[in-house]
Amino acid sequence: MSELNLKFTSSPGVDTGSYRLLELPPELLKIIESDSNASLVIKGTQNEDAVLCTREKTYTVRSVVLSNSVLVVTSPLDVLEDAGEDIVIRDTIHEVLEVVPTLPRLQRLTGMLRGREYDEGHEEDEDVDMEEEEGRASKRRRFTYEDARDMLQASDLELARGLRERRILLLNGELRPLARSYLTAILEFLLTALIANSFSHESAPEEELVSVLEHEHEVRRDVARQVMVWFGELRGGRWKMDVDATVKEVGLGILKAYRDDPIPESDFLTKWRTAVGDTFASAVDLKLLLGNFLANPAPFTQAPLISYFPASELPADPASRFADLFLTRPRWKADEITPFLADIVVDNKERDRLLLKYARAITDKAGVWYTARAKLV
């Protein structure tokens, strides 16, 4: 058995604290081993907990204290030194960094893009003067995709999906949220164009649809194409519409007007079916809007009243989310509350854990109900 000479580093000020051990779960290890170009990026400012991002996912990075210290040892770095059998202790590790899947942290997008909304009639406002500096007008600072990529804790794929789900346009390199009322109008224009020109929603000519929206409704061509990508697939000059996604968005656009003034469910469904037209009326279903409305019994009638109540406007923090939900209603049926938790959990297992932590389950003849575990004030 060979013997080694164990020595402490001669430069403790440089080496100490310079090493970290990162424990990779099997899925990350597989990515690194199978793709030589794979990259792992740590994101986060001094005021944020760090996350690790691959191209597709985001992981929380957390420290786990080790019961036994680990020594980082290497051969001497000084090539002039006779290495022999010497081993140098460079650092002592007392913790390991562990990564677990988490949701992308895109909540800051709302604040970052406030005041940049794109609406009908805003075709030429990219250079509108928004601020005053030293007594003279200055152009609004552009917020680009690269800005969002650098500042937000999300993988590239999750960021792209988040921009799409939040209906954020990329116009001349700038990110701009599309006003929901204008989005609803554009979708109704598309549906009307399909029917009026006898186009199949399974394979409609892209250029002709874009031209109809431009010349008959003054919708910018780049805006029209991005909306078509959000609600379908463009391939080979043809557009295949995602019927459920399109019908859902039209329904949301109508429902938004009934935040504080609930509408009878039957009246809302009638408005919704009228907006999408006879061809797509059969796709109208309140299940498409789960997590975006509340249904309450109406007095003196059997038809419930529904009102706009989007999960996207609730706090992302679980404790605050449950507090808001139970302030809105003292108790919830299981199938009513779960749609309002879908956007803050990675999977159903995490959702059930949160329900166990923040809610109390009660079973009666009507089924399972959830009430607040903590007293709300």
Report pLDDT digits (tens) over 200-239.
Answer: 999 999 999 999 999 999 999 999 999 999 999 999 999 9
| Tens digits of residue pLDDT in 11-49 | 776 667 678 888 888 999 998 888 888 888 999 888 888
Q: How far apart are the C-alpha atoms of 319 and 335, rounded to whole Å?
A: 20
From CA 52, how far away is CA 42, in angstroms rounded?
5
Tell me whether residue 284 is exposed, middle or buried, using C-beta atoms within 10 angstroms of its C-beta: 0 to 12, 13 to 18, 19 or more.
buried
Contact residues for 136 (Cβ-Cβ < 8 A; gap 6+): none
Nearest to 311, CA basis, from 326, 290, 328 = 290
Sorted by where each starts, the structural domains of the chain and their CATH numbers stand as 5-102 (2.60.40), 103-126+141-178 (no CATH), 314-377 (1.10.10)
pLDDT of 98 > 50? The answer is: yes
Model pTM score: 0.82
CA 333 – CA 361 distance, rounded (Å): 9
Give tens-digit pLDDT for 278-335.
Answer: 999 999 999 999 999 999 876 665 678 999 999 999 999 999 999 999 999 999 999 9
> pLDDT higher for 150 or 125?
150
Q: State yes or no: pLDDT of 10 exceeds 90.
A: no
Token duo for residue 203: 């394979």
Alpha-carbon dihedral sign for residues 341, 347, 350, 355: positive
Judged by DSSP in three states, 275 sits in helix
Beta strands in 268-321 (DSSP E): 293-296, 305-308
Instruction: Give the DSSP letter of residue 56.
Output: S
